[in-house]
Amino acid sequence: MFEKVLIANRGEVALRIHRACREMGIKTVAVHSEADATAMHVRLADEAVCIGPSRSSESYLNKSAIISAALITGADAIHPGFGFLSEDADFAEMVEEHGIAFIGPKSEQMRLMGDKITARKVAEEAGLPVTPGSPQLESIEQAIEWANRIGYPVIIKATAGGGGKGMKIAFNDEEIKEAYTLARAEAKASFTSDVVYMEKYLQNPRHIEIQVLADSYGNVVHLGERDCSIQRNNQKVIEETPSPALNLQQRTEIGNIVQQAITKIGYTSAGTLEFLFEDGRFYFMEMNTRLQVEHPITEAVTGIDIVREQIRIASGATLGYTQDDITFNGHAIECRINAENPVTFAPCPGKITEWHAPGGLGVRVDSEIYSGYSIPPYYDSMIAKLIVSGKTRNACLMRLRRALEEFVIDGLQTTIPLHQSLISQAEFIDGQYNIHWLEKFLEKQNG
Ligand code: MV4
Pocket residue to mutate for ligand 1, from 435, 437, 438, most atoms within 8 A of Cβ: 435
**Whether the Cβ atoms of residue 271 and residue 259 lie closer than 8 Å to each other:** no
State residue 7's pLDDT score.
99
Please tell me the distance from the alpha carbon of residue 384 to that of residue 16, in angstroms, as a whole number.
Answer: 12
pLDDT score at 163: 76
Counting as low any pLDDT under 50, the low residues of the chain are: none
Mutate to test the pocket of ligand 1, among 124, 230, 234 (most ligand atoms within 8 A of CB): 234
Query: Closest Cα to atom 12, ligand 1: which residue?
Result: 164
Among 167, 208, 437, which residue has the most ligand 1 atoms within 8 Å of its CB, making it the best to mutate? 167
Counting from 1 in the atom list of ligand 1, the atom nearest the Cα of 164 is 7
Ligand 1 mean position to 147 CA, how many Å? 18
Ligand 1 test: best mutation among 157, 201, 225, 276, most atoms within 8 Å of CB?
276
Burial level of 9, CB count in 10 A (0-12/13-18/19+)? buried
d(CA 427, CA 348): 29
Dist. CA 163 → ligand 1 center (Å): 8
Which neighbouring-strand residues pair with 130? 284
The closest residue, in CA terms, to atom 17 on ligand 1 is: 164
Q: What is the pLDDT of residue 162?
A: 79
290 is known as an active-site residue: yes
The residue whose CA has the least distance to atom 11 of ligand 1 is 164
Question: Which pLDDT score is estimated for 165?
Answer: 83
Q: Whose CA is nearest to atom 5 of ligand 1?
A: 201
pLDDT of residue 403: 98
Q: Choosing from 290, 312, 336, 364, which is the catalytic residue? A: 290
Kindly report the protein residue whose alpha carbon is nearest to atom 18 of ligand 1. Answer: 164
Task: Measure 260 CA to ligand 1 centroid, in angstroms.
Answer: 25
pTM: 0.97
Report the candidate in 59, 55, 70 with the shortest Cα–Cα distance to residue 32: 59
Minimum CA distance residue for ligand 1 atom 15: 201
* Ligand 1 centroid to residue 322 C-alpha, Å: 32
How far does residue 274's CA lie from ligand 1's centre (Å)? 10
* CA pseudo-torsion sign 387, 205, 339, 103: positive
CA distance 289 to 287: 6
Which residue's C-alpha comes closest to atom 25 of ligand 1? 234
Q: Ligand 1 pocket: which residues have CB below 6 Å?
A: 131, 155, 163-164, 199-202, 205, 207, 231, 234, 276, 285-286, 435
Distance separating alpha carbons of residues 353 and 373, to the nearest angstrom: 8
pLDDT at 363: 99
Task: Output the pLDDT for position 166.
Answer: 84
CA of 235 to the centre of ligand 1 (A): 11
Atom index in ligand 1 nearest the CA of residue 283 equals 15
Spatial distance between the Cα atoms of 102 and 80, rounded to a whole number of angstroms: 8
Ligand 1 centre distance from Cα of residue 191 (Å): 18
Distance 164 CA to ligand 1 centre (A): 6
Atom of ligand 1 nearest to the CA of 163: 7
Q: pLDDT tens, 423-438? A: 999 999 999 999 999 9
Q: Residue 329 in contact with residue 384, Cβ under 8 Å?
A: no
